[in-house]
Amino acid sequence: MHLTSAGRRRLGVAVGALAASALVLTGCSAAEPDGPEKITFSYLWGGAEADAIEAIIADFNASQDEVEVTGISSPDFQKQLTSLSASQGSFDISDHFGNAVGSWASKGIIAPLDDLLAANGVDPADFAPASIEQLSYDGKIYSLPIAVHTFQLLYNKTLLAEAGVEVPTTMDELADAIAALTKVEADGTITQLGLGDPSPSTTITTLGYAFGGDWDADGAPSPTNAANVEALQWYYDNVVAPVGSGKLAAFKSGVGEYMSPEDPFYTGKYAMVIDGEWRAVNIPNTAPDLDWGVTAIPAVSSALADSTQLTVSTLFIPSNSKHKEAAAKFLAYLVSDEGATAFSLALGNLPAKLSLVGSSAYDGIPQFSVWLDALASDNVHALSSAPYSAEYSTDLGLAFDEVLSGTSTPEAALQKVAGNSSNYATE
């Protein structure tokens, strides 16, 4: 999401002591005699998102009398992991990010879902293939996507018009647009950046796919894939080198908070950004006067058109839950057409089910279709969630930082990651 996660960028307020106590007391409680089986859904969202989730829970509870769900907002990753690692956990279903699945599955702390999905009529083939690939480990599915995220090129229409720049459709045109839209004063001070990056790691890995790269080939890290190196070099040559790494760092340190009214894309300091679909919901609320557009990220060839990275918000059932079958019934509701639509609309995220790509439910979100339609592309990729993914992600971030600061070349930085990968955890 990568912050990716995307969808969690507006994670709500911390849970107080009372809610924490309730989580311990209600988690995995026994079923009432002659009553519905009671389960706990501990979710990471808070604030308005939590309110929307509670409404979905209420709809499920009212729709049947076999399972009763209690929802608890608990935006604490460490508490979530502590519960997963205990002999008896405090919840029966929860959410996280796709890149954790391989690590958690290898440790045995989340349950395989294949049989539970089949028992509840859930077909993994209904979901974006890249999402199911990321959520599988050792031939089994350990999590399901509740929402997904793709990345596209957003642009400020006013700034492009003032510079006489057309919306770029090729990588060469994108390079020319960055140059035309970057403004630097005589002393080297940057006042406007052609292409900004809310998350450099996400921007660069996504560009890697647009160049035909692969960050995980044959089940192993492949940072030195030639197209990956080319993408990182392109980014350095077109974004960093023309203004200087020091000036760029100084400029970025002074921009406003992400997705606030002072967000640099909203204030015109960034003319273009590569970012996720949540922007389509945030912009009308936060920057209603911004005249903006969005288009597919240019690729280096027609065969690579509509290349993008997909990240996943997931649902899982912990291995220590005593109510897996009941939790699976609720999970099946959450990923049904009705549940998935309500959930994705509440968070301003994309639905994971391909059958919902053409749904009219999303027509009211401006320009949402650009992100939504990308789900049907054959060039949608997700980074691996193998047990080594956390170490790999950290090393890639450090490598990108070295290149952006001018202390290493793309080839040398990514070669260093390749050398480190021999020591990564495999299970």
* Token pair in block for residue 134: 């990321």
Nearest to 108 by CA among 85, 132, 126: 85
239 in Cβ contact with 41 (< 8 Å): no
pLDDT band at 425 (very low <50, low <70, confident <90, very high): confident
pLDDT of residue 33: 60
Cα gap 200→202, rounded to integer Å: 5
CATH top class, domain 150-308: alpha beta
For the cut 50, the answer to whether the pLDDT of residue 30 exceeds it is no
Cα gap 191→197, rounded to integer Å: 15
- Three-class DSSP category at 32: coil
* Token pair in block for residue 187: 């002393």
Calculate what percentage of the chain has a pLDDT beyond 70: 92
pLDDT, tens digit, for every residue of 68-81?
Answer: 999 999 999 899 99
The domain ranges of the chain are 6-149+310-377, 150-308
Looking at residues 260-286, what average pLDDT do you find?
A: 97
What distances in angstroms separate CA 42 from CA 4, 50, 59, 74, 104, one per listed residue? 21, 11, 17, 6, 17
For the cut 90, the answer to whether the pLDDT of residue 48 exceeds it is no
For the cut 60, the answer to whether the pLDDT of residue 27 exceeds it is no
Q: What is the DSSP letter of 90?
A: S
Q: What is the DSSP letter of 206?
A: H
Cα gap 315→100, rounded to integer Å: 12
Residue with tokens 């990471």: 44
pLDDT of residue 426: 74
180 in Cβ contact with 315 (< 8 Å): no
Cα gap 168→207, rounded to integer Å: 14
Looking at residues 87-116, what average pLDDT do you find?
A: 95
Cβ burial of 273 (10 Å; 0-12, 13-18, 19+) is buried
Fold match between domain 6-149+310-377 and domain 150-308: yes
For the cut 80, the answer to whether the pLDDT of residue 1 exceeds it is no
Looking at residues 143-172, what average pLDDT do you find?
A: 97
How much is the mean pLDDT over the chain? 91
pLDDT band at 19 (very low <50, low <70, confident <90, very high): very low
Question: Which alpha helices (DSSP H) does 236-366 contain, by range?
Answer: 245-253, 278-286, 324-334, 337-347
For the cut 60, the answer to whether the pLDDT of residue 418 exceeds it is yes
Name the CATH architecture for the domain at 6-149+310-377: 3-Layer(aba) Sandwich (3.40)
What distances in angstroms separate CA 339 from CA 56, 336, 424, one per listed residue? 7, 5, 38
Residue with tokens 């400020």: 156
pLDDT, tens digit, for every residue of 118-137?
Answer: 999 999 999 999 999 999 99
Cα gap 232→204, rounded to integer Å: 6
